[in-house]
A = this chain, B = another copy of it.
Amino acid sequence: MVKQLSKHSISEELKELLSSVDHVQKIEKNRFLFQEGEDADQMYIIQSGRIQISKISPDGRELSLRICQKGDIIGELTLFTDDATYLLNAKVLEDAEVAVIKKDYLERELLTNTELAFEYMKWMSEHFRKTQTKFRDLVLHGKKGALYSTLIRLTNSYGIKRPDDILIDIALTNQELANFCGTSRESVNRMLSDLKRKEVLELDKNKNKIIIKDLQYLKDEINCENCPIVLCSID
């Protein structure tokens, strides 16, 4: 049987503790859980489905930051800030259920529940390291590096190991990939064609999914230092 690579690092305890949720909300594909500028008074934990976090710049360009699934926390940036509006957009990629946690409730909880606070700090810390290494790749190795890094992260988060290759089990258009890299659709398309030619990957045509055949090639190209896999994911 196939096995998903991704290791979700949010601890059982944290999930447990956070489970004092206000309620659970269902939301369907292509809708927004929240959008930039909206009043922000809650945080979410995904129960099912997939949600993409992105920033849209005034000139219309979109920068995608994460794709999140079961167990991931989103809306976390609203915590501990007085300027309580969302800074990012959360678009639902696949019908989702999210557990809603009220911001002020959680803040109060964190003030009294030491263990929760500790677990939360731990999560935040890891989340920070993850974000920073991600951006580092984006800046340091040009657009090619940005794409390769994104592919590696997608593999770690959504890869399904198969005998001879790894299927990235999430359908993304070239444009969506480009948004992760801060580049253009055409550039991504050309780079993917290139990688196909080099037999680094294949495209599962009718399903819009990518199959990685030579992960090491991608890693070598961006001087991947084989950081802990938990730091090298897309969520």
Binds B, one of A24-32, A116-124, A163-171, A190-198: A116-124
The answer to the question of A16 belonging to the interface, with a C-beta cut-off of 8 Å to chain B, is no
The answer to the question of A125 belonging to the interface, with a C-beta cut-off of 8 Å to chain B, is yes
Number of copies of this chain in the oligomer?
2
The answer to the question of A138 belonging to the interface, with a C-beta cut-off of 8 Å to chain B, is yes
Instruction: Tell me if B136 and A63 are in contact (CB < 8 A).
Output: yes
Instruction: Tell me if A140 and B110 are in contact (CB < 8 A).
Output: no
Q: A80-B125, A128-B77, A139-B63 are in contact. Are A111 and B110 (CB under 8 A)?
A: no
Q: A58-B223, A223-B58 are in contact. Are A121 and B125 (CB under 8 A)?
A: no
Chain A 127-140 interface 0/1 with B at a Cβ cutoff of 8 Å (1 = within): 11101110110111
Q: Chain B residues with Cβ under 8 A from A87's Cβ?
A: 129, 133
The answer to the question of A114 belonging to the interface, with a C-beta cut-off of 8 Å to chain B, is yes
The answer to the question of A59 belonging to the interface, with a C-beta cut-off of 8 Å to chain B, is yes
The answer to the question of A61 belonging to the interface, with a C-beta cut-off of 8 Å to chain B, is yes
Chain A 33-66 interface 0/1 with B at a Cβ cutoff of 8 Å (1 = within): 0000000000000000000000101110101010
Q: Chain B residues with Cβ under 8 A from A59's Cβ?
A: 223
Q: Chain B residues with Cβ under 8 A from A223's Cβ?
A: 57-59
In the bound assembly, the distance between CA atoms of A124 and B79 in angstroms comes to: 10
A145 CB → nearest B CB, Å: 10
What 5 A-B pairs are tightest by C-beta distance, nearest first? Answer: A135-B135, A139-B182, A80-B125, A80-B122, A58-B223
7 contacts between A and B (CB under 8 A): A58-B223, A58-B225, A77-B128, A79-B125, A111-B114, A117-B121, A120-B121
Residues of chain A at the chain B interface (Cβ within 8 Å)? 55, 57-59, 61, 63, 65, 77, 79-81, 83, 87, 110-112, 114, 117-118, 120-122, 124-129, 131-133, 135-136, 138-140, 146, 182, 223, 225, 228
A114-B114, A128-B131 known, 5 other contacts, Cβ within 8 Å: A58-B225, A114-B117, A121-B121, A131-B132, A140-B182
